[in-house]
Chains A and B, each alone.
Chain A
Amino acid sequence: MTQPTSGGDVRLDRISKTYGSFTAVHPLDLHVPAGSFFALLGASGCGKTTTLRMIAGLEEPTTGTVRLAGEDITALPPYKRPVNTVFQSYALFPHLDIFENVAFGLRRRGVKSLKKQVEEMLELVQLGDFARRKPQQLSGGQQQRVAVARALINHPRVLLLDEPLGALDLKLRRQMQLELKRIQTEVGITFIHVTHDQEEAMTMADTVAVMNGGRVEQRGAPAELYENPGTTFVANFLGTSNLIEAEITDKSGGDLVLSAAGGKLAMPAERCSAPVRTGGKLLVGVRPEKITLAHAEDAGTVPEGRNRITGRIVDSSFIGVSTQYLITTPDCPEITVYEQNIERDARLVPGAEVVLHWNPAHTFGLDAAQDIDAGTELDEEAA
């Protein structure tokens, strides 16, 4: 435990947590490979922090086991686990200076010559000149770096991060995201990062597990989750999705033919996570940036083989790199479209009739039995 060790893998088997009649975490299996940067993403109250705290040993699981590098650590108290946590509020000791805060873990394990180690660690997080200050004399970003240093100096097998950037402003958060990613690559420790910020999860993590209502909805690489969401919650929570109700009319080769929005749509069968059955219902999804807009007068220029829907622009907002359009169509809910600001068509203003078209390969299919709005109104869910 005292030698620098590389990361260990974490394996959760059927782990769950209930408080009285409330189930915070449903039995879940999760494997975090050694040395990876793993993100647990979800709205507040979805059980992600509870899961993290069970790995740290601060919460006792109701059922299931926690394994670290193959060893069952479920029964170990937190102070015997080779795991360290960066808390959301940093939880720096207010009565100790920065040096002693960082040295705390080493002192508890009886490490004698720790001065050099602590100084090196403070240099790593660029706080060498602050060693004798008290935590309350530091800014939020500096405190956050102390919290990271205080955990990393112990060379834990796994570093747990509980919304560590939540209290920072946007610019500082971006900077710290890159910084944490750099440190993780450098030290090779397994990072498990809990966040409700989908952008943060996608920028930093190699693997993201999306949690909702105490369950893992889907896990995978950020790009895979984004391009191929398996549930409506993931589709709406990670970025924005347009979901359209459709019916399967035919299956030809690897493609599904669907009737939706008063027309025909096509999509690859392997991108459909729902059971495929002719006549069955489906939710068809497409990301706003995959859609191209053409004015109704240019409808003839839309290439063959692309999915197309006609509609009318009700709103457009210019946000610099792109323009966001809101489009109503006769047969389906409003569709959001992001157009890059490269060659702007002056005719695309609210009220204009347009044709929306996209590559069928960018379409994904979801089980129609789900709530189409899951994951959209997160502020209400969080409350």
Chain B
Amino acid sequence: MADLCAVVGVGQTKHASCRADVSIAGLVREAVDRALADANIGIDDVDAIVIGKAPDPLEGVAMPELWLADALAAHGKPVFRVHTAGSVGGSTAIVAAQHVMAGIHGTVLTVGFEKQSDGNAMWALSVPIPFGMPVHAGAGGYFSPIVRGYIKRSGAPSHIGAMVAVKDRTNACKNPYAHLHEPDWTLEKALESPMMWDPIRFVETCPSSDGAMALVIMSEERADKHAGPKAWVHATAMRSEPTAFAGREQVSPRAGEMCAEDLWRKGGITNPAKEIDVAEIYVPFAWFEPMWLENLGFAPRNEGWRWVEDGVTDIGGSLPINPSGGVMSTNPIGASGMLRFGEAAMQVMGKAGEHQIDGARKAVGHAYGGGSQFFAMWLVSSSKP
């Protein structure tokens, strides 16, 4: 059996469309310094470092794990780099946790980052490939037909995406680190937002952000002696599947369902919607909130959109989703998954400030990446299992 571990420190940057005031190394260090300060430890107390980011063409820097080793004070320590596309922030945190759970290291620092203003993500995600017709148009062009499939199969009304967008943008105003602070959105105004990748409106897309998130994870032995709140890791799960295969269920990928089933089983959760207090899930396009509610097993199939419409996922609802404002308000791709994992930890540590869900004891962090093919999830709690 794996050992227990806990998050004892969380630190993130102020996210923005362009952090021209720092280099990539400076961006990463900002999050790392805040996580170490939050954990009340120094870099010398860290045994190993696990770093993750999305594809290297986003900034044009190959092997940033080598380049950033000095900024991470990794002299004489193991450094690992993880990559699973957009889910990388989640899988990186899981790799870090597993180093501790395996009993190999007592204190692991993990960080996810992206400095999208240094490159062009639309270009990096639309590189011509030998087998394709160059009609793809970035991530939105890829995911919009899948959203269309969800709308057709579920019978969801067309305003659901806009409702999610308004909720997340409103939530982000309670999060000082969020990239977008746009308090004036209303559903009426959101519905007038132009169609970018029909059926996806401009307001229903995530921004492109510079940012980083870092976590300090400790073994049970060390965490027990550590003062301050902790987020105990009750379960982690990862699954993947190929991007394209005949008959693939694209709207609700089987790998996502399997990942969630594994998470609930390991975490002893039999009724997710009832037992989970808050979830930070990876929603880069607003329609993915109802889609993932179903994929995760929170809502019945084709019913996720009704939960959105009924306010279930609002901060005051019975299952608040993305009280931080989520990916819809902040998307430094390589950090976005770790932001979900870290925000979930902050909720059960009682450190979420204005977007704190009162009495949150069990929270889920979720990330997905590639063509909805990599899934990473964790379940954290204010108390040990």
Partners in one complex: no
User: Which residue numbers of A lie inside 8 Å of B, CB to CB?
Assistant: none
User: Which residue numbers of B lie inside 8 Å of A, CB to CB?
Assistant: none
